[in-house]
Amino acid sequence: MIKLSKASKMPCRSWSLEALTTCPASKNKDGSLVDACKGCYATTGNYRFPNVKAPRVHNQEDWKRKDWASDMIAELDNDRYFRWFDSGDMYDLRLAKKILEVAKATPHCNHWLPTRMHKFAKFSKVINELESLPNVVVRKSSDSVTGGLIKGTNTSTIIPTIDNATKGMVVCKAYERDGKCGTCRSCWDKSVSVIAYPAHGKSMAKVIKMIQVG
């Protein structure tokens, strides 16, 4: 059974997994978390509630079903915007191929797919195919929380404050709207190269403080 979520602050529905357990790219080679994942919003607050966890745990098994892709395609019949992975990541190549199938069959829907799986070479082909679709933005996330950039056509990074934004970054202004996107659709916009998300939350503030203190 397809289980989508709809965060009140987002303009669309989302299909998500549990953070960290489905985020192999959240770890450094020594097993420690990368900076951006140390303060991950999806491991705190509401995300700890059973009713929020349950669909994410369900989805981790559900995508393996034979009919999952066709069920997703039917589910998105009327959606114009969709966000993959409000939490979690495209951790399995078979899942990535099914997402590609869904995106190809739903050209009426704009898909935003944030991911760190670009770190793994075996995902290159499917990510390239996803990126070639006019209705998909694969937004590759940087591990930095201080505005560090990564290569790629569509990327994102975290900045400590809006004053840390540099030329070419589009700053997410959700903080001006109580965390809501409002009419902004920059994350879905292929012409937007880099989105900079100002850090929010106590955990992220702690991570940034530790880095800045050195």
Which residues contribute to the site for ligand SF4 (CB under 6 A)? 172, 174, 181, 184-187, 195
Whole-angstrom Cα Rg for the chain:
17
Evaluate whether 33 touches 64 at the Cβ level (below 8 Å).
no
Shorter beta-carbon distance to ligand SF4: residue 68 or 188: 188
C-beta of 187: minimal distance to ligand SF4 in Å? 3
Shorter beta-carbon distance to ligand SF4: residue 60 or 155: 155
C-beta of 140: minimal distance to ligand SF4 in Å? 14
Shorter beta-carbon distance to ligand SF4: residue 51 or 183: 183
Shorter beta-carbon distance to ligand SF4: residue 97 or 185: 185
C-beta of 181: minimal distance to ligand SF4 in Å? 3
Burial of residue 161 (number of CB atoms within 10 Å: 0-12, 13-18, 19+): exposed
C-beta of 83: minimal distance to ligand SF4 in Å? 9
Q: DSSP for 146-208?
A: S----SSSSEEEEESSGGG--TTEEEP-GGGGTT--TT--GGG-TT--EEEEE--SHHHHHHH
